[in-house]
Chains A and B, each alone.
Chain A
Amino acid sequence: MGKQLLINDLDKDGIATLAGYKTHGGYTALEKALKMKPEEVVEEVKKSGLRGRGGAGFPTGMKWSFIAKPPGVPRYLVCNADESEPGTFKDRYLMQRKPHILVEGMIISSFALGANTSYIYIRGEMMFQYHILEKAIQEAYDAGLLGKNILGSGYDLDLYVHCGAGAYICGEETGLIESLEGKRGNPRIKPPFPAIKGAWGCPTVVNNVETLAAVVPIINMTGDEYAKIGIGKSTGTKLISASGHINKPGVYEIELGVPVEEFIYSDKYCGGIRNGKKLKAVVAGGSSVPILPTELILKTAKGEPRLMSYESLSDGGFVTGTMMGSGGFIAMDEDTSIVKNLWNFTRFYHHESCGQCSPCREGTGWMEKILHKFIEGHAETKDIDLLWDIQGKIEGKTICPLGEAAAWPVAAAIRHFRPEFEEYVKKGRSMIDVKHYYRINNLQPA
Chain B
Amino acid sequence: MQQDSSVSKYSGKKHVKFSDEALALAHKIMKRYPEGKQKSAILPILHIAQAEFEGWLSVETMDYVATLLKIQSIEVYEVASFYSMFNLKPVGKCVIEVCRTGPCWLMGAEDLVRFIEKKLGIKEGQTTPDGMFTLKTVECLASCGTAPMMQIGETYHENLTFEKCGAVLDEYKNKGEQVSHWRKERIKHHSDIHR
Q: Which residues of A contact B (CB under 8 A)?
A: 74, 83-89, 91-92, 117, 123-128, 131, 134-135, 137-138, 141, 158, 160, 162-168, 179-185, 200, 241-245, 249-251, 283, 287, 328, 330, 332, 336, 341, 344-345, 348, 351-352, 434-438, 440-441, 445
Contacts of A83 in B (CB 8 A): 142
Complex contact A200–B140 (CB within 8 A): no
Identity of the chain B residue whose Cβ is nearest the Cβ of A83 in the assembled complex: B142
Complex contact A249–B79 (CB within 8 A): no
Ranked 7 nearest A-B pairs via Cβ = A437-B108, A437-B111, A165-B83, A166-B84, A166-B85, A243-B144, A182-B39
Complex contact A336–B106 (CB within 8 A): yes
Complex contact A141–B102 (CB within 8 A): no
B151 is an interface residue with CB less than 8 A from chain A: yes
Identity of the chain A residue whose Cβ is nearest the Cβ of B162 in the assembled complex: A437
Identity of the chain A residue whose Cβ is nearest the Cβ of B100 in the assembled complex: A344
Complex contact A84–B34 (CB within 8 A): no
Q: A184 to B42, alpha carbons, bound, how many Å? A: 11
Identity of the chain B residue whose Cβ is nearest the Cβ of A183 in the assembled complex: B79
Interface residues of B in 12-35 (CB under 8 A from A): 32, 34
Q: Which residues of B contact A (CB under 8 A)?
A: 32, 34, 37, 39-44, 46-47, 69, 78-79, 82-86, 97, 100-103, 105-112, 138-148, 151, 153-156, 161-162, 181-183, 186, 192-195
Complex contact B142–A182 (CB within 8 A): no
Q: A243 to B186, alpha carbons, bound, how many Å? A: 32
Q: A341 to B151, alpha carbons, bound, how many Å? A: 22
Complex contact B154–A330 (CB within 8 A): no
Shortest CB distance B178–A (Å): 15
Name the residue in A89, A141, A345, A441 with the highest tally of chain B Cβ atoms < 10 Å from its Cβ: A89
Contacts of B151 in A (CB 8 A): 125
Contacts of B146 in A (CB 8 A): 249
Q: 28 interchain pairs (CB within 8 A)?
A: A84-B139, A85-B140, A88-B142, A91-B142, A117-B34, A126-B142, A131-B186, A135-B193, A141-B194, A165-B85, A166-B85, A166-B138, A167-B84, A181-B39, A182-B37, A182-B40, A183-B39, A185-B82, A241-B145, A244-B106, A332-B106, A341-B106, A345-B102, A348-B102, A436-B106, A436-B108, A437-B107, A441-B108
Q: A241 to B145, alpha carbons, bound, how many Å? A: 7
A138-B194, A348-B101, A348-B139 are contacts. A436–B110 as well, Cβ < 8 Å? Answer: yes
Complex contact A244–B103 (CB within 8 A): yes
